[in-house]
Structure formats: structure tokens, C-alpha cells
Amino acid sequence: MTNLSITINGIEFRNPILVASGIAGYGTEWDGLCDFEKLGGVVLKGVSREPWAGNAPPRLAETPSGMLNAIGLENVGLDAFLDEKLPALEGLDTVIVANVVGRTVAEYADVCEALDKHDRPAALEVNVSCPNVESSGIAFGTNINTLTEVVSACRAATGKPLWVKLSPGVSDIAPFAATAVDAGADALTVANTIPAMAIDVESRRPVLGNTYGGLSGPAVFPVALRLVHVTAHAVDVPIIASGGAVGWRDAVAFMLTGASLVQMGTVLFSAPAAPEAAVTGLAEYAERTGFKEVSKLVGALINKG
């Protein structure tokens, strides 16, 4: 029997497959369709200090082998998250990771501080792709200075493992990865949706209410794979891959390039059973290729030349 478990930052995951933030909801929405107890864990919807209403619709657009979303990080806010959402997960036997969003550095820090006191989230994943309202709406994670500020503030606010979810919308991810680690990140999630847009040529209007959205799904997998590869060479902390994985083959590829864990998101919309199938497929692959522990796959890529 292959040992599928992975331990990073002192947290043991029963296998390397997680459901990504924004797709897993608050952990109960997929009941009866996707069994999170068969997976390594789930990352909950991003939570902000106050409730956010989200963007004007349409919030979704389908693109070839992908999709755009401009949800606008609609969420119930910290109070309802702590009082209603986390308690609802009491019986759920899987690792819970909270995802943190904010419009200012102080908002991020406040959310981290409040979550730090709650025993359920095993780790905090910070989404640094939010627009910074104090700096003309530029995403925190696309500027070295604001990335440093936000990660440092979150680090100071929590003793829990801190994952920083990097933005892919930068010319070179390596310095951003190094910056996040220097500022206190215990692990890096690589990456997030890719800034994109869609137009309805008949109406000559953008499809999304927000004009711009984020591209996800299998269309982004090769991009995410390269970003994981580059990041793995730039830093020594564990990497959690996110972007376009649909099955075990993608999970193996992510792990070979250096990811310890693999998040699956958009694929749940086409196949809610895909994460579970990926776990089975991953076990079969490891068995077939003689890896007794899947953790040994991490970084086992044979590089060219």
C-alpha cells in the first residue's frame, strides 16, 4: 500500500489533493456530491473583516477549456464566518484551511488575528490578489512593497502556518516568492486565476459585469505548472499548486515540479467527483512506478540536460 499522506508545516494531510478556495464554498455546499473526507483538505471561501456583497453580474463566463470569474470575493464576513460557518464543519474529518482577503493591510491582519484564536483552521492562506484600495486598486501581490507589508502584517497576527497565495499576473514570480518567504510565509500557493476578459461581439460589450475576471480551469494548467517549477527553484518552503488540475496526471506533474499539495478548483464544476478520482489515480501511479510514499514524488522531476 502506498502511503499517500503528506506533512507540511506540521500539518498531516491524508493525501495531497485539496479543494481550492472559492470552489469549496464554506465546506458544506457540495454535500452529497464531493466527499471532502476522502481528500487531504479544503480551503474555504476567502473571508474579509466585513461582509462583501461581490460584483455586479454576470460574474461568470465560459472560455475554451476554461472559465472566467469576477465574483468580487463575495463573502459573509468574519463574524458570520466564526459564528456560523466554522461551527458547521465540526464533524467534518478533513483539514480545513481558511483563506484571507482584504482591501487594506489592516483588514488582512485583523482577519488573521481573529482566525488565529479559532482552533479549527489548520492554516491560513492569504489571497494577495485583492485590489489594494489604498494604492489605486493595484493587487497587493503584484508589487514587492505591498506584498511585503501584507505578509509581514499577517505573520505578526498569527502563529498558525501562513500560506501566501501568489498572483500569477507578474512578469517574474521568483522575486515575489522570495519576498513572501522573507516576510514570513511558511508555504506558498502557486498560483491564482490569471487576469483575463471576454467580449460578446454581438452586443459589443464585455461579458462580465466587472469587465475583467480571472481565468481558471485546464486552460491555465501549463502556465501554473511553469510557475510552480520556477517557484520551486526560488524558495525552500513547501509549495501548494493551484491552477487547472483536472486529474491524477496533473497532480503528479505538479508534485514532480515541486508541489507538496495540489488544489483542484474549477474541475469540480464539470466533475465533482474528480478530486476523489485523482486520489485513486495518484495511488495507482505511485504503486506502478514504485513510489512507496507519494511525498517522494515532490520535486522528483528529471530535468533536461
Ligand X SMILES: Cc1cc2nc3c(=O)[nH]c(=O)nc-3n(C[C@H](O)[C@H](O)[C@H](O)COP(=O)(O)O)c2cc1C
Partner from ligand X, other proteins, none binding residue 167, C-beta < 5-8 Å depending on class:
none
Nearer to other proteins, 189 or 266 (CB): 266
CA 78/CA 125 separation, integer angstroms:
15
Considering only 77, 169, 272, 299, the residue that binds other proteins (CB under 8 A) is: 272
If one asks whether residue 48 binds ligand X (CB under 6 A), the answer comes out as no
Amino acid at 52: W
Helix (H, G, I), strand (E, B), or coil: what is residue 89? Answer: helix
Smallest gap from residue 21 Cβ to other proteins (A): 11
Nearest CA among 70, 74, 60 for reference residue 25: 74
x-or-dash pattern for other proteins, window 62-81, by CB under 8 A?
Answer: x-xxxx-x-x--x-------
Smallest gap from residue 163 Cβ to ligand X (A): 10
Smallest gap from residue 27 Cβ to ligand X (A): 13
Active site residues: 130
If one asks whether residue 217 binds ligand X (CB under 6 A), the answer comes out as yes
Q: Supply the DSSP string of 208-252, one letter for each residue.
A: STTSEEEEESGGGHHHHHHHHHHHHHH--S-EEEESS--SHHHHH
Considering only 6, 61, 139, 173, the residue that binds other proteins (CB under 8 A) is: 61
x-or-dash pattern for other proteins, window 250-269, by CB under 8 A?
Answer: ----------------x-xx
For the CA atoms of the chain, what is the radius of gyration? 18
x-or-dash pattern for ligand X, window 15-34, by CB under 6 A?
Answer: -----xxxx-----------
Considering only 242, 274, 275, 278, the residue that binds ligand X (CB under 6 A) is: 242
x-or-dash pattern for ligand X, window 63-82, by CB under 6 A?
Answer: ------x-x-x---------
Q: In this structure, what C-alpha cell is assigned to residue 279? A: 486520489
Considering only 132, 193, 231, 257, the residue that binds ligand X (CB under 6 A) is: 193
CA 113/CA 89 separation, integer angstroms:
20
For the chain, how far is it from start to end, CA to CA, in angstroms? 34
Q: Are 193 and 216 in contact (CB under 8 A)?
A: yes
If one asks whether residue 210 binds ligand X (CB under 6 A), the answer comes out as no
Partner from other proteins, ligand X, none binding residue 220, C-beta < 5-8 Å depending on class:
ligand X
* CB-count exposure of residue 202 (10 Å: 0-12, 13-18, 19+): exposed
If one asks whether residue 46 binds ligand X (CB under 6 A), the answer comes out as yes
Nearest CA among 237, 275, 229 for reference residue 255: 229
Q: Are 257 and 229 in contact (CB under 8 A)?
A: yes
Which residues contact residue 288 at a Cβ distance below 8 angstroms, ignoring those fewer than 6 apart?
A: none
**For residue 270, how many other CB atoms are within 10 A of its CB?**
11
Residue 199's φ and ψ, nearest 5 degrees, are -125, 140
Q: Is the dihedral of CA 281, 287, 289, 291 positive or negative?
A: positive
Smallest gap from residue 125 Cβ to other proteins (A): 17
Nearer to ligand X, 73 or 177 (CB): 73
Site residues (vs other proteins, CB under 8 A): 22-25, 28-33, 45, 53-62, 64-67, 69, 71, 74, 203, 205, 209, 217-218, 266, 268-273
Site residues (vs ligand X, CB under 6 A): 20-23, 45-46, 69, 71, 73, 99, 127, 165, 192-193, 216-217, 220, 242-245, 264-266
